[in-house]
Amino acid sequence: MPNPYDPQNPVKPHYFGGRRIMIDSFKERLGGALNNQQSGGILIYGHRGVGKTSLLQKFIDIATNDVENQSNVLILYRRLSAKIDSEQLYNILLEELNSKIRERQTIVEKAKEIGKSFSKLNAFGLGIDIKKEKESLSPFQVWKLALNSLKDVPCIMIAIDDADELDISALGELKTVMEEITKVPIILIISGGIEFEEQLIGKYSPIARIFSGASYNISRLDYEETKEVLLLPLEKENTKWIEDAIKSLHKFTLGYPYLVQCLAKASYKENEEITRNIVESSIENAVNIGKAWLGHEIPNASDNDVVSFLKIVEINKEIFTNSEISSKDVSPPYIGRLVKLKVIKKISYGRYKLEKSPIAAIFEKLKRGI
């Protein structure tokens, strides 16, 4: 089989491991929407390479496949790559809405042509012409009109990846999207970088209520989650991971998903037992896989800088104090060095926060053999 580990792309949903708390939270909100007409939101945030996009794709897969009748959830997904204002946000949602309804109608029509029956698959209907309505109405008015004209749609899932790109006007409209009274419940899932929750509350705090009890800072995988990620793609294959090899890989990567995928890809041997020796001898190859993305994160750091960064990563917190840094034997000169390298940032007297992803420190450790 092709190498099933792929750090360049989101993990395929059927290979997705871990994140049980977030998945259970999503299933709870999905059930509330389908059974009780309850709208709800989930916020996912974290450093680069922790699997935010993979998690959103897993949510979409669950809404599409896992439970009877969930294939009738209308899913609107968009990954943002540029700043978006409120008008652009509604235009994106309308574009996705129109596209998904047409896509569903095409599927149902083709099924009828070949005499196949999808008795539980709703055809979805839209009672307005979006393009025509846009000629006289604002995007928000068209969106509201479109929602109220939907037919055979029990629930809408809106998933916005890299939502850091939403400006303050668009963030405000997310609250309107969730709280506007419509006949169709909405599940809103948004993801962003490590500072996204803080910025969200600072820029537009009323929206935080949407994500009450469902705001998750996702980070490293624990050992059992790492094991699941490694074993799921090989359930029907002859390739086997030896327990010591899994422990070694987890130790080297600290369970950061992107690095787990890099080292797993480098270690993969079809129809063989993957041993600890194979993992350890594959580190250089794993570094070559990841260097295009991580090789320039801290190019001017010395080995001692990297060691200091690694010690701070061991604190396992985003915000930490001077005394916590000192407890890890990082001397004041190196604290200053890490601030200068923009690895950490001073936020108040004696308090700092991580500015670079811990993945950068672990990558440099692997690259330099520290």
- The residue count for the chain: 370
* Confidence band, pLDDT 50/70/90 cuts, at residue 41: very high
SS3 state of residue 96: helix
Summarised one tens digit per residue, pLDDT across range 278-309 is: 999 999 999 999 999 999 999 889 999 999 99
Sorted by sequence, the CB contacts under 8 Å of residue 240 that are 6+ apart come out as: 234, 272, 273, 274
Beta strands in 128-179 (DSSP E): 150-151, 155-161
Q: Which of 79, 74, 15 is nearest to 53 (CA)?
A: 79
State residue 308's pLDDT score.
94
- Hunting for tokens 């190019």 — which residue is that? 299
Report the alpha-carbon distance of residue 115 to residue 130 in Å, rounded: 31
Summarised one tens digit per residue, pLDDT across range 81-102 is: 999 999 999 999 999 999 999 9
pTM beyond 0.85: yes
Q: What is the 3-state secondary structure (H, E, C) of 4-34?
A: CCCCCCCCCHHHCCCCHHHHHHHHHHHHHHH
C-beta separation of 173 from 89 below 8 A: yes
End-to-end CA distance of the chain: 34
- Give the Cβ contact number of residue 237 at 10 Å: 11
Provide the mean pLDDT of the chain: 91
Q: Name the token pair of 190.
A: 């948004």
Summarised one tens digit per residue, pLDDT across range 193-204 is: 998 888 888 777
- Mind listing the domains of the chain with CATH numbers? 19-217 (3.40.50.300), 223-294 (1.10.8), 303-362 (1.10.10)
